[in-house]
Protein backbone atom coordinates (compact mmCIF):
# COMPACT_ATOMS: atom_id res chain seq x y z
CA UNK A 1 0.00 0.00 0.00
CA UNK A 2 1.32 3.41 -0.97
CA UNK A 3 1.66 5.87 1.91
CA UNK A 4 3.07 9.38 2.18
CA UNK A 5 3.53 10.91 5.62
CA UNK A 6 4.63 14.53 5.95
CA UNK A 7 6.24 16.02 9.03
CA UNK A 8 8.26 19.06 10.07
CA UNK A 9 5.63 21.77 9.94
CA UNK A 10 5.17 24.30 12.69
CA UNK A 11 5.36 27.96 13.65
CA UNK A 12 8.36 29.93 12.41
CA UNK A 13 9.20 33.62 12.39
CA UNK A 14 9.51 35.57 9.15
CA UNK A 15 12.99 35.09 7.71
CA UNK A 16 13.36 31.74 9.43
CA UNK A 17 13.89 28.26 8.04
CA UNK A 18 12.08 24.95 8.19
CA UNK A 19 12.65 21.52 6.65
CA UNK A 20 9.67 19.39 5.70
CA UNK A 21 9.94 15.64 5.31
CA UNK A 22 7.73 13.19 3.43
CA UNK A 23 8.33 9.54 4.33
CA UNK A 24 7.20 7.17 1.59
CA UNK A 25 6.27 3.51 1.76
CA UNK A 26 4.91 1.06 -0.78
CA UNK A 27 7.02 2.49 -3.61
CA UNK A 28 10.47 3.93 -4.31
CA UNK A 29 10.74 7.73 -4.36
CA UNK A 30 13.69 7.65 -6.75
CA UNK A 31 11.67 5.76 -9.38
CA UNK A 32 8.84 8.27 -9.52
CA UNK A 33 8.46 12.01 -9.59
CA UNK A 34 7.65 13.73 -6.33
CA UNK A 35 6.10 17.13 -5.82
CA UNK A 36 5.22 19.55 -3.06
CA UNK A 37 1.86 21.33 -3.28
CA UNK A 38 0.66 23.92 -0.79
CA UNK A 39 -2.68 25.35 0.21
CA UNK A 40 -2.96 28.63 2.08
CA UNK A 41 -5.81 28.85 4.61
CA UNK A 42 -9.12 29.05 2.73
CA UNK A 43 -7.36 29.14 -0.64
CA UNK A 44 -6.76 26.79 -3.55
CA UNK A 45 -3.96 24.40 -4.40
CA UNK A 46 -0.62 25.81 -5.51
CA UNK A 47 2.15 23.68 -6.98
CA UNK A 48 5.50 24.43 -5.32
CA UNK A 49 8.22 22.12 -6.61
CA UNK A 50 9.00 18.82 -8.32
CA UNK A 51 11.93 16.41 -8.42
CA UNK A 52 12.03 13.88 -11.23
CA UNK A 53 13.47 10.39 -11.10
CA UNK A 54 16.55 11.63 -12.94
CA UNK A 55 17.11 14.30 -10.29
CA UNK A 56 15.95 17.37 -12.22
CA UNK A 57 14.19 19.92 -10.04
CA UNK A 58 11.80 22.79 -10.78
CA UNK A 59 10.15 25.46 -8.64
CA UNK A 60 7.32 27.90 -8.84
CA UNK A 61 8.65 31.42 -9.27
CA UNK A 62 7.65 32.66 -5.81
CA UNK A 63 9.89 30.14 -4.00
CA UNK A 64 12.83 29.92 -6.44
CA UNK A 65 16.08 30.62 -4.63
CA UNK A 66 14.47 30.14 -1.20
CA UNK A 67 13.21 26.53 -1.26
CA UNK A 68 15.13 23.38 -2.15
CA UNK A 69 13.58 20.01 -2.93
CA UNK A 70 15.64 16.88 -2.39
CA UNK A 71 15.33 13.21 -1.58
CA UNK A 72 17.24 10.60 0.39
CA UNK A 73 16.98 7.33 -1.48
CA UNK A 74 18.33 5.32 1.46
CA UNK A 75 15.52 6.64 3.65
CA UNK A 76 12.94 6.71 0.84
CA UNK A 77 12.11 10.24 1.95
CA UNK A 78 11.40 13.51 0.19
CA UNK A 79 12.40 16.87 1.68
CA UNK A 80 11.63 20.54 1.24
CA UNK A 81 14.13 22.95 2.75
CA UNK A 82 12.45 26.31 3.17
CA UNK A 83 14.58 29.38 3.88
CA UNK A 84 13.81 33.10 4.14
CA UNK A 85 10.22 32.29 4.97
CA UNK A 86 7.52 34.91 4.47
CA UNK A 87 4.02 35.30 5.83
CA UNK A 88 2.66 34.33 2.41
CA UNK A 89 4.33 30.92 2.72
CA UNK A 90 1.82 30.03 5.45
CA UNK A 91 -0.03 26.97 4.19
CA UNK A 92 -0.65 23.28 4.50
CA UNK A 93 2.11 21.57 2.53
CA UNK A 94 1.32 18.29 0.80
CA UNK A 95 3.74 15.90 -0.84
CA UNK A 96 2.42 14.05 -3.86
CA UNK A 97 3.66 11.29 -6.13
CA UNK A 98 3.19 10.54 -9.79
CA UNK A 99 4.62 7.89 -12.06
CA UNK A 100 7.89 8.80 -13.77
CA UNK A 101 6.30 10.33 -16.87
CA UNK A 102 6.18 14.05 -17.55
CA UNK A 103 2.64 15.32 -17.33
CA UNK A 104 1.35 12.33 -15.36
CA UNK A 105 -1.15 13.10 -12.57
CA UNK A 106 -0.45 13.10 -8.86
CA UNK A 107 -1.70 9.65 -7.98
CA UNK A 108 -1.02 9.77 -4.27
CA UNK A 109 -0.98 12.53 -1.67
CA UNK A 110 0.07 12.77 1.94
CA UNK A 111 -2.18 14.19 4.64
CA UNK A 112 -0.30 17.51 4.76
CA UNK A 113 1.68 19.44 7.35
CA UNK A 114 0.88 23.00 8.41
CA UNK A 115 3.50 25.72 8.19
CA UNK A 116 2.72 29.02 9.89
CA UNK A 117 5.02 31.99 9.34
CA UNK A 118 4.32 34.64 11.91
CA UNK A 119 6.02 36.77 14.52
CA UNK B 1 2.72 31.54 -17.37
CA UNK B 2 -0.22 29.28 -18.16
CA UNK B 3 -3.50 30.11 -16.42
CA UNK B 4 -6.49 27.88 -15.68
CA UNK B 5 -9.84 29.49 -14.89
CA UNK B 6 -12.62 27.75 -12.94
CA UNK B 7 -15.94 29.12 -11.67
CA UNK B 8 -15.76 29.64 -7.90
CA UNK B 9 -18.96 27.73 -7.26
CA UNK B 10 -21.48 25.40 -8.85
CA UNK B 11 -24.76 24.33 -7.25
CA UNK B 12 -26.87 21.35 -8.23
CA UNK B 13 -29.83 19.43 -6.84
CA UNK B 14 -29.41 15.79 -5.86
CA UNK B 15 -29.88 13.43 -8.80
CA UNK B 16 -29.06 16.12 -11.36
CA UNK B 17 -25.90 16.63 -13.40
CA UNK B 18 -23.09 18.96 -12.34
CA UNK B 19 -20.65 20.39 -14.87
CA UNK B 20 -17.48 22.14 -13.74
CA UNK B 21 -15.46 23.93 -16.38
CA UNK B 22 -11.75 24.68 -16.59
CA UNK B 23 -10.68 27.26 -19.14
CA UNK B 24 -7.21 27.69 -20.59
CA UNK B 25 -5.57 28.75 -23.83
CA UNK B 26 -5.79 25.75 -26.19
CA UNK B 27 -6.26 23.48 -23.18
CA UNK B 28 -7.54 20.82 -25.59
CA UNK B 29 -3.93 20.18 -26.56
CA UNK B 30 -2.98 19.32 -22.97
CA UNK B 31 -3.80 16.44 -20.66
CA UNK B 32 -6.13 17.62 -17.89
CA UNK B 33 -6.38 16.04 -14.46
CA UNK B 34 -9.12 16.65 -11.89
CA UNK B 35 -8.96 16.35 -8.10
CA UNK B 36 -11.67 16.27 -5.46
CA UNK B 37 -10.93 17.74 -2.04
CA UNK B 38 -13.31 17.36 0.84
CA UNK B 39 -12.98 19.72 3.85
CA UNK B 40 -9.95 18.91 5.98
CA UNK B 41 -8.74 16.18 3.64
CA UNK B 42 -6.03 15.82 1.05
CA UNK B 43 -6.96 15.99 -2.66
CA UNK B 44 -7.95 12.80 -4.45
CA UNK B 45 -7.48 12.18 -8.17
CA UNK B 46 -10.86 11.60 -9.84
CA UNK B 47 -10.08 12.04 -13.57
CA UNK B 48 -6.74 11.88 -15.37
CA UNK B 49 -5.75 12.61 -18.95
CA UNK B 50 -9.05 14.31 -19.72
CA UNK B 51 -11.44 11.37 -19.23
CA UNK B 52 -9.81 8.37 -17.55
CA UNK B 53 -11.00 7.27 -14.11
CA UNK B 54 -8.76 5.81 -11.39
CA UNK B 55 -10.00 2.60 -9.84
CA UNK B 56 -12.69 3.27 -7.27
CA UNK B 57 -14.10 6.36 -8.99
CA UNK B 58 -17.70 5.73 -10.13
CA UNK B 59 -18.67 5.80 -13.80
CA UNK B 60 -20.99 8.75 -13.22
CA UNK B 61 -17.84 10.91 -12.97
CA UNK B 62 -16.46 11.78 -16.40
CA UNK B 63 -14.40 14.38 -18.19
CA UNK B 64 -13.97 15.99 -21.58
CA UNK B 65 -11.50 18.42 -23.10
CA UNK B 66 -11.64 20.39 -26.32
CA UNK B 67 -10.62 23.79 -27.59
CA UNK B 68 -10.22 26.18 -24.68
CA UNK B 69 -12.38 24.33 -22.14
CA UNK B 70 -12.14 21.13 -20.15
CA UNK B 71 -15.20 19.91 -18.27
CA UNK B 72 -15.73 17.62 -15.30
CA UNK B 73 -19.20 16.08 -15.33
CA UNK B 74 -20.80 14.39 -12.36
CA UNK B 75 -24.11 12.66 -13.14
CA UNK B 76 -26.75 11.69 -10.59
CA UNK B 77 -25.15 13.95 -8.02
CA UNK B 78 -25.16 12.76 -4.42
CA UNK B 79 -24.64 14.61 -1.15
CA UNK B 80 -21.23 12.94 -0.86
CA UNK B 81 -20.06 14.71 -4.03
CA UNK B 82 -20.06 18.04 -2.22
CA UNK B 83 -16.43 19.16 -2.26
CA UNK B 84 -13.91 21.43 -3.94
CA UNK B 85 -12.74 20.36 -7.38
CA UNK B 86 -9.48 21.40 -9.03
CA UNK B 87 -8.26 21.00 -12.59
CA UNK B 88 -4.55 20.62 -13.31
CA UNK B 89 -2.27 20.60 -16.33
CA UNK B 90 1.45 20.32 -16.92
CA UNK B 91 2.93 23.28 -18.78
CA UNK B 92 5.68 21.67 -20.83
CA UNK B 93 7.12 25.05 -21.85
CA UNK B 94 8.11 25.84 -18.27
CA UNK B 95 8.07 22.36 -16.70
CA UNK B 96 5.64 23.75 -14.16
CA UNK B 97 2.41 22.28 -12.90
CA UNK B 98 -0.64 24.54 -12.90
CA UNK B 99 -3.83 24.24 -10.88
CA UNK B 100 -7.09 25.99 -11.51
CA UNK B 101 -8.47 28.15 -8.71
CA UNK B 102 -10.93 25.47 -7.66
CA UNK B 103 -14.72 25.13 -7.76
CA UNK B 104 -16.88 24.50 -4.73
CA UNK B 105 -19.65 22.07 -5.62
CA UNK B 106 -22.73 22.51 -3.45
CA UNK B 107 -25.47 19.91 -3.42
CA UNK B 108 -28.74 21.70 -2.70
Residues B45 and B33 sit within 8 Å (Cβ to Cβ): yes
Radius of gyration (Cα) for chain B, nearest Å? 13
Chain B residues near residue A106 by CB distance under 8 angstroms: 33, 35, 43, 45, 88
The pLDDT tens digits of the residues spanning B15-33 come to 999 999 999 999 999 999 9
List of chain A residues with pLDDT < 50: none
Of A119, A115, A87, A107, whose CA–CA distance to A4 is shortest?
Answer: A107
Distance from CA of A109 to the nearest CA of B (A): 7
Q: How far apart are CA A37 and CA A43, in angstroms?
A: 12
Please name the member of B33, B98, B102 whose beta carbon is closest to the beta carbon of A105. B33
Q: Do A47 and B96 touch (CB under 8 A)?
A: yes
What mean pLDDT is reported for chain B?
97
Give strand ranges (E) for chain A: 3-7, 10-12, 18-25, 33-39, 45-51, 57-59, 67-72, 77-82, 91-98, 108-109, 113-117
Q: What is the pLDDT of residue A116?
A: 98
Chain A residues near residue B96 by CB distance under 8 angstroms: 47, 58, 60
Mean pLDDT of B67-87: 98
Question: Given CB atoms, is B96 within the 8 Å cutoff of chain A?
Answer: yes
Amino acid sequence: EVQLVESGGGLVQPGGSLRLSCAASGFTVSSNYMSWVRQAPGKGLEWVSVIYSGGSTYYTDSVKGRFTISRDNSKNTLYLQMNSLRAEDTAVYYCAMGIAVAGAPFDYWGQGTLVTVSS
Amino acid sequence: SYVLTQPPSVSVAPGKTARITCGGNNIGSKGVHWYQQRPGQAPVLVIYYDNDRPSGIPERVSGSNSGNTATLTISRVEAGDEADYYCQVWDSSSDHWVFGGGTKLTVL
